[in-house]
Structure 1
Amino acid sequence: MAQETLHCTLITPEGLAFEGDVDFVAFPARDGEIGILPGRAALMCELGVGRLRVRIGHNFQSWFVDGGFVQVLENHVRILTQQAIPREKIERSEVLRMLTEARQMPVTDEFSAQRKARAEARALIRLRMAR
């Protein structure tokens, strides 16, 4: 009996970032991390900011994702996101520059304070993923 898998599709505005059969998918939802195994009930949720992971056999692949939507239906996981950066392409020096810039953003009102906090959070997540 063949082991059941999920078909995962990762799509950005630029096009298809990943497509393939996987054993497990974990992604940041807006209110916490969600893990998906084959046979999962249908689901639609908002994708948060963080690390997307897929497991193929004993190997993991990871991306930094920046919001969007996820649909799980009949063992197909469809992830639509504004940005999907493979972990191996996240450069530590670039992320440190982004973090410095985020920390130097001026705060003049509630909107700019929230924008600064989001920029810092995104940079810190990438820093944890950087090689």
Structure 2
Amino acid sequence: MAKVFSRSDRVAEQIQRELADLLQFEVKDPRVSMVTVTEVEVSGDMAHAKIYYTAPQGTPELQKGLEKSAGFLRSQLAKRLLLRTVPQLHFNYDASIDHGMHIAKLIDEVLPPVEPEQDEPSN
């Protein structure tokens, strides 16, 4: 049976693609650099969108820069998407990558280093 995708899921995917492009090429705020949009969740009534992002340096200044550019991003999305109303954008830092790196570091500290296997020369 075919997998059913709701309209809000399709809109969320499109918003994620467009925001990635806008953040990389259109936003001129120096606080907003090297941002990766990891997920977008759109409410059922299409009024609000939660934008989850990650960045090498997740600082409060980056959050402020994203919130400041939300109006510009929303207006650009309105030009690119065929929607009657564009959702309000709410930015949330996605700490899952930081958490995963922390877990990997803890595992590396516990496990002994693995020596690479040496191939024996064949005659």
Give the TM-score category using the shorter length: under 0.3
Q: Which has the larger radius of gyration?
A: 2
Q: TM-score scaled to structure 2, two decimals?
A: 0.22
1 or 2, which has the higher strand percentage?
1
